[in-house]
Amino acid sequence: MTSYLIGLIGSGIGPSLSPALHEQEAAELGLRYLYRRLDLDVLGRPAAEVLEAARLAGFDGLNVTHPAKQQLLGQLDELSPEAAALGAVNTVVFDGGRAIGHNTDTTGFAGSLSRGLPDAAMESVLLLGAGGAGAAVGHALLSLGTGTLHVHDVDADRAATLVSALCERFGAGRAVVGDLGALRFADGLVHATPTGMANYPGSPVPASALRPELWVADIVYRPLETDLLRAAAARGCRVLHGGGMVVLQAADSFRLFTGVEPDAERMLRHFRELAALEGKAVYARG
């Protein structure tokens, strides 16, 4: 039986559902597949050292999450065109000792938004967060036809850098540096920072700024019912949790690790089963 050793690098990843998602799909496909958490908080080592340790230990690949998606760029031997354009990786494949970086967050988010909010107006969208995940989401939103993307980040320079990269790829004026004031007229809001995760509780937006006409998507999936989505639903907004993105990016990563086509629909069903076991609310399809 073909076997794979895969890991997840990030901080506070104890509750991650990625191991269960990957291992269950591998079992369905008849693959021996071990998926291990490499929690930076537990190991007490920088991401670069953990990457090299995984390479030496014979790992076949790694998923990468906050805060390492941009930190590891300089440690990799090669980047896929998508990862290079985004300036962030969420997947590393080891091939003959070489570490090759990929990014499946863009396709994961695009697929989730198309499934969960297929008719969402996208003339004007506010993106909160310009880090590794925010970059992937920004590229996905413009690829899906967003007219103007307003990018806000607590680090103004980081927001400006992402806007510049987006305009270079999609055209001048397609992205602009924005702020929460864009909520007065935006069609949608996408949240792509760690706020709302178990280790970073709270909401990045005051509930009073949310209009019923606004759709709200959060990439956080632990918990599914973030403070932001709870407040948005209470204000009458259409909402989309981060579960679909995590499953669909996982399916794309699985394909890169194994060369085997996963069943994305089966993985989505498995995710819903795992979420139901935890008693989490599911707001939108897929």
Task: Please give the share of the chain, as a percent, with pLDDT higher than 70.
Answer: 97
Torsion sign over Cα 249, 253, 259, 265: negative
The pLDDT tens digits of the residues spanning 59-77 come to 999 999 989 999 999 999 9
What Cα–Cα distance (Å) separates residue 100 from each residue in 1, 149, 230, 252?
A: 25, 30, 38, 15
Calpha distance 90→8 (Å, rounded): 9
Helix, strand, coil in percent for the chain, rounding step 5:
40, 20, 40
The pLDDT tens digits of the residues spanning 243-284 come to 999 999 999 999 999 999 999 999 999 999 988 876 544 444
Calpha distance 156→213 (Å, rounded): 28
Catalytic residue among 22, 66, 69, 102: 69
Torsion sign over Cα 3, 261, 26, 1: negative
- How far is CA 203 from its chain centroid? 18
Calpha distance 232→226 (Å, rounded): 10
The pLDDT tens digits of the residues spanning 160-219 come to 999 999 999 999 999 999 999 999 999 999 999 999 987 789 999 999 999 999 999 999
The pLDDT tens digits of the residues spanning 5-26 come to 999 999 989 888 999 999 999 9
What single letter denotes the amino acid at residue 219?
I
Contacts for 206 with CB less than 8 Å, ≥ 6 apart? none
Q: Which helix (H) or strand (E) holds 48?
A: helix 47-56
69 a catalytic residue: yes
